[in-house]
Amino acid sequence: MSGTYLGLPAFPQAARLSTRDEQLRANLRHATHTIRAKRATAIAELSDWPELRAAGTAIKDHTLHHLDHYLEQLETAVTAAGGTVHWAIDADDANRIVTDLIHATGETEVVKVKSMATQEIGLNEALAEAGINAYETDLAELIVQLGNDRPSHILVPAIHKNRTEIRDIFHTHMAAWGRPAPDDLTDEPRDLAEAARLHLREKFLRAKVAVSGANFMIAETGTMVVLESEGNGRMCLTLPETLISVVGIEKTIPTWRDLEVFLQTLPRSSTAERMNPYTTTWTGTTHGDGPRTFHLVLLDNGRTDTLADTTGRQTLRCIRCSACLNVCPVYERAGGHAYGSPYPGPIGAILTPQLRGTTTALDASLPYASTLCGACYDVCPVAIDIPEVLVHLRERIAQGGPTTRHGTKATIKPAKGHATERAAMRAAAWTLDHPAAWTATQRLATRTRALHPRRVPGRTASAWTATRDLPTVPARTFRDWWQHREPDPKDSQQ
């Protein structure tokens, strides 16, 4: 993935700072609780939500099980409709393809629709190196880009910023990118949106090339689908002469009809609306309407490695709604940046380590960034059992095992950092499988209880006792009491 995320600290260290940032926690709490409540209302309107969820899950599973078939069908349909299909194995491959396509147009600037896939591959940075300016046009992405910041949420990437911070960013940075912000700009959202409208309109009107992602690609028809709210998507998908869409291969769905499921589940899970303001669908090119040239770049970048894992595979069902972020108690306190990737929250904790591998301290810490409370699984519109995948990835890190990297099967070794834990787990498992040893351990704990301090040394123990007292060990274990209790149950008062 992108160099933007190289060298970031592991999740616990980043989250430690976030939990101390009162402003950030207030922003996140407000945002996640607001949208969480709205989503629940939107879902409650549909009495057949469980059936829609089951159908969406089945469609995605079916597609993934036959992904080779549907990708070839998609390629044929897009080509027949006047588009050109490219295949990219990884980020470098995709960035090179897009750069070459833009160079061929002779242009040095592009407008962009918010796209997770292009963030994942670090396209903007790659284009900048090639002398091409990429302008983000989604309001939140614009805020992030102007502020030289990183997105912190899939749906609302600038949610960590409040209105005053956004006003300051516009004031300070808009002029360097184009039309400056008005001098008397207030921090009212309406005024800020107006400033963005004026700033971006000149870019839309002169743009010759646009780069987008897509929410869905329909194999049978070659149709691309983009859902959005602001109209910046329509601008990019309609006005330029050349459109380049970079889309993960897992965004394929088989048939036009399948949209009837996802156009019900995605908006309600994402923005908590019955339907988002704008959805654009296009199939290749249309004479006299919209771009004359359409390129589709199909992106692997770790997706086939994810597909090879029969437990982790379900991650590829994800439709990027971000409902899991908004119910996640860990995301709410840690914030999106702590996840060190464009994919924060529960889905990021399972997607990033599968796409990037678990070789860095950050990526190896992500599967542990969860209490396994299960709120994410409950709201997921395609029923990704995120806790199941988290535990599965923890096993890969702690114990190693078979995996697939860059299309090659490999057996990875247990992570070094977990050696002490591994030894402790092995010892505990042995003790617990030998009741006499377990009883002896318990007896030792109860007999020495008077000596137990409230705070104890050692990294793991002090992680508990820095903020919490240890429980007091009682004088007798339960089994001790049971073995010595009076035979008549009536006497067994507490």
Partner 1 sequence: MTANTSRDEVLRRVRQALGDRPGSTPDPGTIPRTYLTTHADRTPEQSADLLADNLADYRAHVHRTHAAGLPATIAHLLADHGTRNAVVPPGVPADWLSATAGVEIHHDHGELTARTLDTVDTVITGCALAIAETGTIVLDTSPDQGRRILTLVPDHHICVVNTPDQVVDSLPQALPRLTPAHPLTWISGPSATSDIELDRVEGVHGPRTLDVILVGPPSGPR
Partner 2 sequence: MRVALFVTCVNDLLYPDTGRAVVTLLERLGVDVDFPTAQTCCGQPQFNTGYRHQTEPLVHRYAAAFDGYDYIVTPSGSCAAMVRENYPRIARRATTEGRDNGLTRAAATTAPRTYELTEFLVDILGVTDVGAYFPHTVTYHPSCHGLRTLGLRDRPRRLLQAVRGLELRELPGAEECCGFGGTFAVKNPHVSTAMGHDKIHNALTTGAPILCGADNSCLMHIDGLLRRHHTPLRTVHLADILASTEEHPYTAPEKTGNLR
Residues 6+ apart with CB under 8 A from 327: 32, 36, 375, 376, 378, 379
Residues 84-113 binding partner 1 (CB under 8 A) are 86-89, 93
Q: Which of residues 402-421 bind partner 2 (CB under 8 A)?
A: 421
**Residue 473 is a binding residue for partner 2 (CB under 8 A):** yes
Question: Which range binds partner 2 by CB under 8 A, 312-320, 343-351, 352-360, 373-381?
Answer: 373-381
Token duo for residue 465: 């006792």
Beta carbon of residue 373, minimum distance to partner 1 (angstroms, whole number): 23
Cα–Cα distance list, 196 to 26, 193, 201, 361, 483 (Å):
25, 5, 8, 38, 74
Q: Does 54 bind partner 2 (CB under 8 A)?
A: no
Minimum distance, C-beta of residue 42 to partner 2, in the bound complex (Å): 18
Q: What is the CA radius of gyration of the chain?
A: 26
Smallest distance from partner 2 to CB 49, Å: 16
Whichever of 163 and 485 has its CB closer to partner 1, that residue is 163
Alpha-carbon distance 364 to 347, whole Å?
A: 15
- Asked if residue 394 binds partner 2 (CB under 8 A), the reply is yes
* Vertex 448 angle, CA 443 and 450, to 5°: 135
Length of the chain: 494
Rule CB under 8 A: which of 138-177 touch partner 1? 138-140, 143, 156-159, 162-163, 166
Q: Which of 445, 447, 448, 456 binds partner 2 (CB under 8 A)?
A: 445
Q: How far apart are CA 137 and CA 134, in angstroms?
A: 9
**Which of 23, 41, 164, 371: binder of partner 2 (CB under 8 A)?**
371
Among 235, 330, 384, 393, binds partner 1 (CB under 8 A): 235
Angle at the Cα of 140 from the Cα atoms of 291 and 20, rounded to 5 degrees: 155
Out of 130, 263, 361, 473, the only residue in the binding site for partner 1 (CB under 8 A) is 263
Residue in this structure with the two tokens 């959805």, named with its chain if needed: 279
CB of 491 to partner 1, least distance (A): 57
87 binds, among partner 2, partner 1, none (CB under 5 to 8 A by kind): partner 1
Q: Which of 464, 341, 360 has the alpha carbon at shortest distance from 416?
A: 360
Contact call for residues 333 and 18 (beta carbons, < 8 A): yes
Query: Distance between CA 250 and CA 306 in Å, rounded?
Result: 10
Judged by CB under 8 A, does residue 375 bind partner 2?
yes
Region 422-451 residues binding partner 1, contact defined as CB under 8 A: none
Using CB under 8 A, which of 428, 447, 448, 456 touches partner 2? Answer: 428
Note whether 249 binds partner 1 by CB under 8 A: yes
Residues 295-334 that bind partner 1 (CB under 8 A): 298, 300, 304-305, 307-308, 310
Strand pairing report for 223-228 and 216-218: antiparallel
- 88, 97, 144, 398: which one contacts partner 2 (CB under 8 A)? 398
* Site for partner 2 contains 84 (CB under 8 A): no
Determine the residue type at 108. Answer: T
SS3 218: strand
Contact map string, positions 455 to 474, toward partner 1, x by CB under 8 A? --------------------
Contact between 338 and 11 (Cβ < 8 Å): yes
Pairing of strands 242-248, 209-212: parallel
Centre a 10 Å sphere on the Cβ of residue 217 and count the other Cβ atoms it contains: 25
Query: Closest separation between CB of residue 247 and partner 2, Å?
Result: 32
Buried b / exposed e over 162-176, threshold 16 CB at 10 Å, is eeebbbebbeebbee
- Return the residue of 7, 106, 478, 487 that touches partner 2, per CB under 8 A: 478
Could you tell which of partner 2, partner 1, none binds residue 399, using a CB distance below 5 to 8 A set by kind?
A: partner 2
For residues 328 to 357, the per-residue mask of contacts with partner 2, x marking binding by CB under 8 A and - elsewhere, is -xx--xx-----------------------
